[in-house]
């Protein structure tokens, strides 16, 4: 599954799933641009990728800031070339019971997870249309398909990402551009560590007990590894996957089977 000659952009690419995807795309031969908000984390990720032999560029970008997003494509084009593969991975999590749910939490999760994905697609896709080839891969969640207790804002935002994925897939069919979503369960990343810490804080359970409760949400009783998500992203990015579009592929140990 060679991606030699392709240029990929991974948002939220400084850690976790995003960094794993950046490494996997680079190993497949792509030049990789990683974008994230934290400059220090981003430069560390870029150094790690360079050490592994990748042709890489890093761009500080907040996906909720349209001015920053609109500078992404020209910046990457200058350093690596036009973007063939877009991986919308930037996202945040948060939880709260619905009664008394903070409006700020609702607005923040939709702004980052859904509007951020929209912003980056709007900035990058027109050039793909002009060149009549592209791959858009949105990192959604099994929360795109099923509700979760105390996760109304996160679930709504990820359902929105899936709707955006499907609508774009239909609209971009004539241009040889595929648009798909990957829907992970709980992945062994810093974001999940934050979730575990939140459970400890709110319930008084030990870290081990909190981790076990998260692992138990998968029929395989484990966290998904970032590399498992990355492998699906690489597959979707290839020419061989040209017949796969508008799909939402679960990587969750069998938790959600639709």
Q: Using an 8 Å Cβ cutoff, are 51 and 43 in contact? A: no
User: Of 135, 120, 127, nearest to 6 (Cα)?
Assistant: 135
Report the DSSP beta bridge partners of residue 32: 8, 56
Cβ atoms within 10 Å, residue 206: 11
User: Of 189, 160, 177, nearest to 248 (Cα)?
Assistant: 160
Q: Cα 48 from chain centroid?
A: 19
192: which 2 tokens?
A: 């999940």
Task: Report the distance separating Cα 134 and Cα 139, nearest Å.
Answer: 16
Q: Using an 8 Å Cβ cutoff, are 45 and 36 in contact? A: yes
DSSP 110-134: IIIIIIHHHHHHHHHHHHHHHHT-E
Report the DSSP beta bridge partners of residue 177: 134
Task: Report the distance separating Cα 213 and Cα 210, nearest Å.
Answer: 5
Q: Which of 77, 150, 154, 186 is catalytic?
A: 154
Q: Is 77 a catalytic residue?
A: no
Give the chain's largest Cα–Cα span: 55
User: Which residue is associated with the tokens 């040209």?
Assistant: 242
Q: Cα 219 from chain centroid?
A: 23
Q: State the catalytic residues.
A: 154
């Amino acid at each position: 599954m060679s991606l030699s000659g392709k240029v990929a952009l991974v948002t939220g690419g400084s850690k976790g799933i995003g960094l794993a995807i950046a490494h996997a795309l680079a190993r497949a031969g792509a030049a990789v641009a990683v974008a994230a908000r934290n400059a220090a984390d981003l430069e560390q990720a870029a150094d790690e990728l360079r050490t592994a032999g990748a042709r890489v560029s890093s761009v500080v970008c907040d996906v909720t800031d349209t001015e920053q997003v609109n500078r992404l494509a020209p910046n990457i084009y200058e350093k690596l070339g036009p973007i063939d593969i877009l991986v919308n991975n930037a996202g945040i999590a948060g939880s709260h019971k619905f009664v008394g749910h903070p409006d700020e939490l609702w607005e923040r999760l939709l702004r980052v997870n859904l509007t951020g994905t929209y912003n980056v697609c709007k900035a990058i896709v027109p050039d793909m249309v002009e060149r009549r080839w592209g791959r858009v891969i949105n990192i959604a969640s099994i929360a795109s398909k099923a509700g979760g207790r105390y996760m109304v804002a996160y679930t709504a935002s990820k359902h929105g990402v899936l709707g955006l994925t499907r609508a774009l897939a239909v609209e971009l069919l004539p241009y040889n551009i595929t648009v798909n979503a990957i829907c992970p369960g709980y992945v062994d990343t810093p974001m999940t560590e934050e979730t575990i810490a939140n459970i400890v804080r709110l319930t008084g359970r030990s870290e081990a007990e909190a981790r076990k409760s998260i692992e138990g949400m998968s029929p395989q009783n484990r966290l998904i590894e970032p590399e498992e998500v990355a492998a699906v992203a690489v597959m979707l990015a290839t020419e061989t996957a040209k017949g796969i579009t508008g799909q939402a592929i679960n990587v969750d140990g069998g938790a959600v089977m639709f």
